[in-house]
Structure formats: C-alpha cells, structure tokens
Structure 1
Amino acid sequence: MSNNYVQIDPKDNIIVAITPLQKSMFIDVAGQTFTLHEDIKQKHKFALYDFKVGDAIYMYGVLIGKAVLPIKKGTAITIENVKHASAEFNASQEKISWSAPDASAFENRTFNGYHREDGKVGTANYWLVIPLTFCENRNIDVLEGALSEQLGYETKKDFAVDTDALIKQYKAGGSDTDILNTPIITTKEEIEQNRTFPNVDGIKFLKHDGGCGGIRQDSETLCKLLAGYITNPNVAGATVFSLGCQNAQIEMLQSAINAIDPNCKKTVHYLEQQRSSSERHLIEEAVKHTFLGLMQANKTVRKPAPLSKLVLGLECGGSDGFSGISANPALGYASDLLVALGGSPVLSEFPELNGVEQDIINRCVTDEDSKKFYGLMRAYSAAAVAVGSGFENNPSPGNIKDGLITDAMKSAGAAKKGGTSPVVAVLDYTEQVTKPGLNLLCTPGNDVESTTGLVGSGCNVVVFTTGLGTPTGNPVAPVLKMSSNTSLYERMSDIIDINAGTVITGEDTIQTMGEKILDHIIKVASGEVASKAVLHGNNDFIPWKRGVSL
C-alpha cells in the first residue's frame, strides 16, 4: 500500500486516496503515470483511466457503478459522475477451493465461559425481563427500578444518592451535624462491587414497540426473536410479561423456544396481567420470581471452553472509505481463523451484499443454500423496489461524505468482514446458528436491527467495525467496536475497543490485525476485559418487522 494512494485489486480502474491529494500531484500506479486534475479528499477515489458515459467502474475487483458523465483520468469519482451498478448473479455455482489460514497460535487457547445444559457456552450471564407487547413496557420500567441498582447492576448515573440514610438520621433524632456528616453518595463502581449476585452480569430489560397491532406475522417473528434471546448461551433465564389479549401470546413464545431447544431447561417465568388480581400483585410476583431466578443463575461460574464455542457476529456501521481496506478485511481474517478453529462467524446485512452475490453463492457448500441465498436476495431487492426504494439507496449521508458513493462500493467493502471461508449455512431472520463455519443471516443493513438479529440467532459476541464512530451495543452480547482509522480511535477512544487504523499506516498487516482481533475477542469472552459498549450500558434492541429496512 502506498503512503498516499492504493489500487485495491488489479481489476480496479479507480484508486483510493489514503491521504488528501493535491491537484497536479504526480501519480504512478498500475502502470499508469499522470497528474491529478483536482484535489482528491482522503478516502475518496479518482479515475485511473478516461471514462465515457456508460463505462463500468470497478473497485475491490467488482462492478460498483457506471459513469453518467465523461470522467477524465486523475479526477474525482463522485455521486454526480457515477451511479450505482452491480453485477448480475444466478443460483448456479462455480465451486471454489479454500485454504484455511494458519491458526496454530490459537489451537490451545480457551475462553472462560458459562456452560449451559444444551452444550452452548456463554460469554456472559444475564437474566432477561421481556414484555410480549408494548403495553407492558411500563411494568418493565417498574421492575427495573425495583431491581437494578439495589442489586448492584448498572445505574444510568455515575453515582447513586442514598436519601434513606438521611431519613433514618432524621427519625432517630439526629442533629444537623449528624445529617451533614452522613455519607449518602455511592459511586457506580461501589454499586457494582457490592452486587448481590456476583456471578450474574446483569438484568436486561428488552422493551420494544411490537407484540400487537400490525400484522400477525410481525408478532410471530417477534416471538421467534425473543425465543432466540432466551435460548442464547449468554442468558440464564427470563421473566416474561404478557397483557393477555395481544397477538404475541405466551403459547407462541413457548412454541418458538421449543422449536429451538425442545429440552430447554432454563427457567422462564410467565406473568399475565389480565389474570392478575392487581398490578401491585403482578409486580410483587415478578420481583420475587426474578429474585429466585437470579439466585439460581448465580450458581453458574465461568469455566474453560474451546474457541469452537464462539459464535461471532460480524457487523459494521458508520462505514467510511477505509472500512473495506482495514477494519473489514482484518475482521474477515479473524473470521477465517475462527472457522479454522471450529467456531461460527455470522455475516448479516443482506442489502450490503449487493454486488458480491455471485461470490457468496460460489462459496456456499450446498446447492440448497446457494438457492436459498439467491431467493432471499431477490425477494429483498424486489420488496425494496416495490415501495419506491432499492439497494442503491443504502449508503447514508455519512457514508457518501467519507467516500462510499454507491451501494455496490459499500457492499464490496462490507462483505470483507466475512473473510474467504466456505458458507456452511444460509439463515433467514431468527433462524438459529447450528453449524460450525461461516453462516449468513438475512437482516437489514440498519446497524441495530442487524445486531439485534445476530444475537437473536445465537451470537455470543459481536465485533462491529466503524469508520465514523457509533456507541451501539446490545443487551445480551458484548459488542466490540473497531475503528477503520486511527484518527477516529483517538477522538472516540471512550467508545472504540480496537484500532485497525494501524493497517492504513502500515504498522499492521491484515493478518497481524486479524490475530489481534481474535485475541481481544477471547479476553472479552472470558470476562477479562469489558467492551466499551458494556461499560457504557449501550443496550440497543430493535426487532425487525420484516418490512423494507435498508
């Protein structure tokens, strides 16, 4: 990689600016020598050849757009002179071979996790409180107020104020001096150190706006997603609130749990408000049964587990022009390492696989999965077009500002997260990961909807690459944020866990960065290091209603 610019693939006819490039700068790349006709912003691209209207534009070795205006060699590629275009694809395969990377440095490594009766291993140990309908969200808030801080779990403040201590002094006849000398501030760290149940990482409250109204399929999908969260290895058990008359019935959730694990031994306590004598009685019962569940969950302790028990969600958001050069391919190498070790990485965000479909199809192990992926992509694309949109509308204003001007360009870089290994399973939304190796999961490109879906399908840890920065997290799985550039890491180190910008500066290769990523994943999975999203209490949870979401 040049210090100033790079051709990513020999087939590419546009070049990426690694640093800001000035007009008249001399360029020597891919057998071409010329000077720039204008300034080129960092992360943006410029033409390697002269383009006529209709000429194909290639990056990452794939079609990412077509010229809509004549473009001179050495001028910028922009949304004004290029429009989205992507390669055609079909369900027939051209099988490819794969050579696994050398994972010997990790062969004897383990992580300390929570072993479940179904054989899965969690990287955390949570209790869930779940409403089956938005009507119960207030009761969820009441339960959170009654349990979280008092049991030593996350507070939304940096400290808690113990007014009860002052009341006790007053009732005991304490003097003004006694009251002024009474300690009433407890820090967040002190609260967590005094947890009632030290082996339980927290109580998570999964509020949402679904469960009733809409179409019945929305409620069925929601129940399947919630069942995925309850059976996720990072979860010990759950308290479920039902109103009683909503579409998402208790029996529907129980059936979804049974479909995932017919012998599920986790404690799930169901409460139905319309059958309760009063709201007060409902809350009292919920608090007591949740407390009993926490007592049981606290008996589980971390024990060594093979890395094959890691189910790694591969996510990106707030991407920039460096994401597909540094963070995403480095995560892809970590994904390949995990596959070599018997683990299960999961690639989602189907709108961001637009343009690389044929490569994915060729990597599918079975014809059944190649046809399933083909069908899901065609249906998703058609649904977007039917409402007046399309995959070409996927890049956000932030993406475009930082150099990702077409969806195919964004997708080709985003797909790098999935590495190069064979695809062992193609899953529709809420379907569960059951096979070791690279899995594909149909989700939107929306960051939180996609991360929510990954964890609902069984991921016990997520790595989230970003070029612009995001505080996104998940209630159940630790989400590690990785920056594509060092400038972002230095500005937002409070929310970014790993810096892949060292690939851009040449301090790391894709391979060495991938190894560092896997090493960090192991530490987080073992509870040795907390992700920044966990530390900040980022518990983003947005179920997908299967409408069009890019």
Structure 2
Amino acid sequence: MDNRFLHIHPKDNILVALQDIPEGTDIYHDNMTIPIPKKVKAKHKFALSPIKKDALVYMYGSIVGKALVPIQIGEAITTENLVHAAANYQVEDQQWNFTPPNIDAFKNRTFMGYHRKDGSVGTANYWLVIPLVFCENRNVEVLKTALLKPLGYKSSSDDIISTETLIQHYRNRSSKEDFLQSNILKPEIPNTDEQVFPNVDGIKFLTHDGGCGGIRQDSDTLCNLLAGYITNPNVAGATVLSLGCQNAQIPILEDAINKRDAQFSKPLVILEQQQSKSEQHFIEDAVKQTFLGLIEANKIKRAPAPLNKLTLGLECGGSDGFSGISANPALGHVSDMLVALGASTVLAEFPELNGVEQELLNRCESKENAKKFAGLMQTYAKRAEEVGSGFENNPSPGNIKDGLITDAMKSAGAAKKGGTSTITDVLDYTEPVTKKGLNLLCTPGNDVESTTGLAGSGCTIICFTTGLGTPTGNPIAPTIKIASNTQLSERMADIIDFNTGGIIEAKATIESKGEELLEYIIAVASGEKIPNAVRLGQDDFIPWKRGISL
C-alpha cells in the first residue's frame, strides 16, 4: 500500500495527499498510473481521473463541489478549479441499522464523578458567578478579585510576562535587538496556596454583552442558556447578579431553571443591584452569600459512576485536510462506543453539516426528528443567505490553506465526529439533552459560540478536534484538544492533549485511537487528568445572538 495518499470512498473521484507529492511523480492506484503535473501539498486533494467542467466532485462518498474548469488527472484541487456544491435532501421513511462497536473493555468501567440530586453526574464541581446583563460585568470582575486568590484558586490572569525586563531595557536605552531577544517569560509556578474548599474545582466568572438592548428573544435565549449552565451536572451552585431593569429578568431565568429541573435544589444566590443600598453593599452581600454557597458545594465528593452518565460534546475548530481522516473519525468511534454503553453524545455546528444532511436525516430515529433537523437547517441557511453569507462562505482562510476547499468538503469530514449511530434527538439552541444516544444540537460553526451552546445543553465534557490548533475552552465543561496530525501535537504541546496523527502515519487505526481517547476521557472525567484548556484557564463564553439590536 502506498502511504503517500488515500482513497477514502469508492465513489470518490479525488485522492488525499498524506504527504507532499513532488511535481513529476507517478502515483499508482488501482492498476492505473496517475502523473502529478505540479506539486500537491500534504492535506490537499488531487484528481483521480480527468474531471470535466461542471462535473460533480466526490469525497467521503458525498458531493463536495463542482468543477469550475476541466481538471486533469493528478491535478491539485483548489479554489480556482472547484466551487462549493452539495446534494439536495429530503425527509424519507428510513430505518437506520447501527452496528455497535466492540465495547467489552469498557462495559463495567466507571468514572469518579459528582452525583447530583436529579440523578445526573458531573465531571467537575464548579461554582458560577453570572451577570444577567452586561451592566453587571464589572461587579463580576470585582467578585473575581475578592474570591479567587484568597480562596486558593489560580487565576488565568496571573502574571506570565515580566514587563519589568522591558522597562529596564527602555531605561538603559537598549537596542531593538535587545528588546526582541530578551526572555520575559516567567516560569510557571504551581499554585501552592491551599484551597479553602478542596472539593470545589473552581469558581467560574462569566461575562457577556447581552441581557438588554437586543430583541426579547435574545434575552430569553440568554436566560435559557444561563439556566442550562446552572443546571449542568458540573455546576454545584451559582451567584447571579442582576441590575433590575434589563430585558433578561430574574423570573425568566427562574422559569427556565424550573423547566429543566422542577426539583432544583442547588444553592442559588440571586441579587438585584437596584434594590441595594449601594454598590459596595451589593458586592459585600454577594461575597458573603457566595461564601456560604461554597460551604455547601464543598460537601460534595467524587464517587464512582457508570459511563452511561457521561454527556460528551463533539466539536471541531481550526480544521485541516487531515481532520476528517484521523481526529474526527477517531472521535466518531468514541461516540459510537459511548452510545453503545448507554451514554449521550452531542454533535453541533449545523453550518458544518451542509452537504451531509441526507445521511443524517436517514439516521434519525423518528420522522419527527428528521423533520425538525431539516427545518432547522433550511431556516439557518435562509437566514445566512439573507445577510449575504451562505454556507458556502463557511471555510476560513486557514481551512482553505490546509486543504478544505469547500464547505461541503469541510462538512463531510466534520460529520465524522458523530460516528455511525442512530440519532435519537434533534435540539435547537439551548434545548437540554434528555435522551441517551447521539443528539444533534443547532449551534453556529463559530467555535466558542458552539462550545458555549454544548455546555448549556448539558455536556459534561467536550472533545475538540483541530488540525491547525486553537486554545479554545469552556468554563464548566473540561475541553480536550485532539490533534489531527503529529506536527501540530508537537508544535503546540502546551495546548494539545491527544494526538491522532498516528492514523495518518499508518501507525494506528481509527479504532485503536478511539479506544485510547476514551481512556483519556475517563481519566479527565475522574479528575485524574487536567486538559490544557482547563490548566490555562481558557474559559471562553459567547452566547449566540440570532436577532438584531434594538
């Protein structure tokens, strides 16, 4: 077998270069010779046979584009010769046959989690401080200063740079070269302060620019999202700061919490500034009541839980031409294993399912779910077109540079994160996960808006595949970064947690890497391994706004 390229699906009329293929090389595949007229870079695609102008191009067995000009055999696929095209889809009567993978090694496995009164189990135990409106962001920051270091928690804003060194260079009138060559990185010092509340993994301070000024639907959605965070199994309790006059009113939040958990019993502090004597009194009250809440949160300890209590978010970002071959299918195998074990997995980013809708529709357990998915996709696509940016504009410059030429090509690889299992539920943004099995969740392709939505719907761990690298994380759901290639894993070792590059190098299989990844997930869920995004304090939180600002 030639390890320089890959033919993914029998229907495909393009091949993937697994390494740089020089100009003038002859490739041999399926008893035919393919001459390479110009260099094809690793991760990029080239024609398996001559492709006529306007002919459809297939990858992963799906339509991923249409030829703008004739493409000769062996020629690289680029934005100059290929344009986005995707297959049409419709809801049909379909029975999907899912063949579960072998799960013998994981059947009786457990993780050490935090058991909640509603029967859910968290992989972490956080306290939240949340503003109902952007006007309270400053007060959230004041609380952060008042609580983090005194209680023994490391802050992501702790100094890592010695600016004093640059100041000294300036005073000494040093040269530009001295400035640039000076080492101003401070060594990472472990937090030696004893945590006052050792069973509370951290206090997370969320800020945002919503809650007022936009349409009522956006403030209602924000309340639903925040309710999702408060009721997430990874959260022990929360402090909510309200101004008082904003659109996102306290009763809306309380109602959203009640709809998710009618027997909600976590400690919850809700304070309204316009009912307080002064800002100082407001902050003082918030600190005191939060401290009392932390005392209650600290009473909870990790205990064994079956793997079916996990809810895993499936995410990708900074994807490259290898993502759909290594990292995504390995994560898809994890999803299939967890589904077979009775857990829940959640595939998001609807713009990155463009072109694979029919397969996903066919996998829906019920026709009702299929109709809901088709409706959400059609509405999303229409709204994108109305503002002059359809799904075909989704690939980023980084995606294109590393071989993902069209949105359909990107989507066909991104969908591999969802494995092959039956889709048990389809959720709109902020709707909670209530069913075991694979769920589809409507979120944007924007990494942080999507991970924010995954945690808001109940995900307790997020697996995030990447080919280019990104530091993105989430405040409450530990986020595991999975590299599609070894070069990235080595280059950004401080950000990447798990490498699937061995699949590209023919040193590992999708199945073996999937099993290895599930072992890592169990360790993270048990608090035995700390993902880099958690270590770095990458607490990214961006609610999705769907409306205009009024």
Q: Same fold (TM over 0.5)?
A: yes
Judge which range, 320-329 or 36-45, deviates more: 36-45
Contact 2:56 2:65 in 1 (8 A): yes
Residue 246 of structure 1: aligned partner? 246
What's the CA shift for 1:546? 2.1
Residue 352 of structure 2: aligned partner? 352
**SS where residue 429 of structure 1 aligns?**
coil
Contact 1:6 1:18 in 2 (8 A): yes
What's the CA shift for 1:506? 1.3
Q: Distance in 2 between matches of 1:547 and 1:277?
A: 35
- 1:422-433 mapped onto 2 (5 Å cutoff): 422-433=422-433
Deviations 1:436-462 (A, max 9, x none): 100000000010000000000000000
Deviations 1:345-400 (A, max 9, x none): 10000000000000000000011000000100010001111111100000000000
Residue 496 of structure 1: aligned partner? 496
- 1:138-217 mapped onto 2 (5 Å cutoff): 138-155=138-155, 156-157=157-158, 188-191=189-192, 193-217=193-217
Residue 287 of structure 2: aligned partner? 287
Q: Distance in 2 between matches of 1:2 and 1:462?
A: 35
Q: Which runs of 5+ in 2 are unaligned?
A: 163-185
- 1:330-345 mapped onto 2 (5 Å cutoff): 330-345=330-345
Residue 379 of structure 2: aligned partner? 379
Contact 1:159 1:188 in 2 (8 A): no
Q: Distance in 1 between matches of 2:101 and 2:144?
A: 46
What's the CA shift for 1:530? 0.4
Contact 1:125 1:235 in 2 (8 A): yes
Residue 135 of structure 2: aligned partner? 135
Q: Distance in 2 between matches of 1:190 and 1:33?
A: 60
Q: Distance in 2 between matches of 1:2 and 1:355?
A: 29
Q: Distance in 2 between matches of 1:420 and 1:31?
A: 31
What TM-score, normalized by structure 2, do the two folds share?
Answer: 0.94
Residue 114 of structure 2: aligned partner? 114
Contact 1:158 1:188 in 2 (8 A): no
Residue 459 of structure 2: aligned partner? 459
- 1:448-487 mapped onto 2 (5 Å cutoff): 448-487=448-487
Q: Structure 2 vs 1, CA of residues 186 and 399 (structure 1 numbering), >3 Å: closer, same or farther?
A: closer
Contact 2:462 2:479 in 1 (8 A): yes
Q: Distance in 1 between matches of 2:371 and 2:94?
A: 13
**SS where residue 438 of structure 1 aligns?**
strand
**SS where residue 190 of structure 1 aligns?**
coil
Aligned length: 524
What's the CA shift for 1:33? 1.4
Deviations 1:301-347 (A, max 9, x none): 00000000000000000000000000000000010000011110100
Q: Distance in 2 between matches of 1:24 and 1:424?
A: 50
One-letter identity of the residue aligned with 1:189: P
Deviations 1:52-111 (A, max 9, x none): 111000000000000011111111110001100000000123322111001010011100
Contact 2:369 2:425 in 1 (8 A): yes
Contact 1:93 1:370 in 2 (8 A): no
Q: Structure 2 vs 1, CA of residues 187 and 406 (structure 1 numbering), >3 Å: closer, same or farther?
A: closer
One-letter identity of the residue aligned with 1:37: P
Contact 1:86 1:355 in 2 (8 A): yes
Q: Distance in 2 between matches of 1:188 and 1:75?
A: 52
Q: Distance in 2 between matches of 1:355 and 1:321?
A: 17
Identity of counterpart residues, as a percentage? Answer: 63
Q: Distance in 1 between matches of 2:508 and 2:47?
A: 28
Q: Distance in 1 between matches of 2:366 and 2:74?
A: 44
**SS where residue 204 of structure 1 aligns?**
strand
Q: Distance in 2 between matches of 1:160 and 1:358?
A: 51
Q: Structure 2 vs 1, CA of residues 237 and 80 (structure 1 numbering), >3 Å: closer, same or farther?
A: same
Contact 2:222 2:543 in 1 (8 A): yes
Residue 46 of structure 2: aligned partner? 46
Residue 319 of structure 1: aligned partner? 319
Q: Distance in 2 between matches of 1:276 and 1:160?
A: 39
Q: Distance in 1 between matches of 2:483 and 2:93?
A: 35
Q: Distance in 2 between matches of 1:186 and 1:520?
A: 27
Residue 171 of structure 1: aligned partner? none
Q: Structure 2 vs 1, CA of residues 6 and 220 (structure 1 numbering), >3 Å: closer, same or farther?
A: same
One-letter identity of the residue aligned with 1:446: N
Q: Structure 2 vs 1, CA of residues 15 and 302 (structure 1 numbering), >3 Å: closer, same or farther?
A: same
Deviations 1:382-438 (A, max 9, x none): 111111110000000000000000000000000000000000000000000011100
Residue 269 of structure 1: aligned partner? 269
Q: Distance in 1 between matches of 2:268 and 2:32?
A: 66
What's the CA shift for 1:32? 2.9
Contact 2:133 2:211 in 1 (8 A): yes
**SS where residue 381 of structure 1 aligns?**
helix
Contact 1:160 1:188 in 2 (8 A): no
Q: Structure 2 vs 1, CA of residues 384 and 31 (structure 1 numbering), >3 Å: closer, same or farther?
A: farther
One-letter identity of the residue aligned with 1:85: A
Contact 2:381 2:391 in 1 (8 A): yes
Contact 2:63 2:86 in 1 (8 A): yes
**SS where residue 191 of structure 2 aligns?**
helix
Q: Structure 2 vs 1, CA of residues 275 and 160 (structure 1 numbering), >3 Å: closer, same or farther?
A: farther
**SS where residue 236 of structure 1 aligns?**
strand
Q: Distance in 2 between matches of 1:82 and 1:148?
A: 52
Q: Distance in 1 between matches of 2:118 and 2:498?
A: 32
Residue 79 of structure 2: aligned partner? 79
What's the CA shift for 1:160? 13
Q: Distance in 1 between matches of 2:512 and 2:301?
A: 32
Contact 2:218 2:547 in 1 (8 A): no
After TM superposition, where is structure 1 displaced by more than 2 Å over at least 4 residues in a row? 93-96, 158-161, 185-191
**SS where residue 189 of structure 1 aligns?**
coil
Residue 10 of structure 1: aligned partner? 10
Q: Does 1:105 align with 2:93?
A: no
Residue 182 of structure 1: aligned partner? none
One-letter identity of the residue aligned with 1:190: N
Residue 126 of structure 1: aligned partner? 126
Q: Distance in 2 between matches of 1:268 and 1:405?
A: 48
Contact 1:497 1:532 in 2 (8 A): yes
Judge which range, 24-33 or 273-282, deviates more: 24-33
Contact 2:267 2:296 in 1 (8 A): no
Q: Distance in 1 between matches of 2:466 and 2:370?
A: 29
What's the CA shift for 1:545? 0.9
Q: Does 1:521 align with 2:524?
A: no
What's the CA shift for 1:154? 2.0
One-letter identity of the residue aligned with 1:339: V
Q: Distance in 2 between matches of 1:65 and 1:186?
A: 49
Q: Distance in 2 between matches of 1:186 and 1:321?
A: 35
**SS where residue 270 of structure 2 aligns?**
strand
**SS where residue 451 of structure 2 aligns?**
helix
Residue 531 of structure 1: aligned partner? 531
Q: Distance in 1 between matches of 2:225 and 2:517?
A: 28
What's the CA shift for 1:158? 5.4
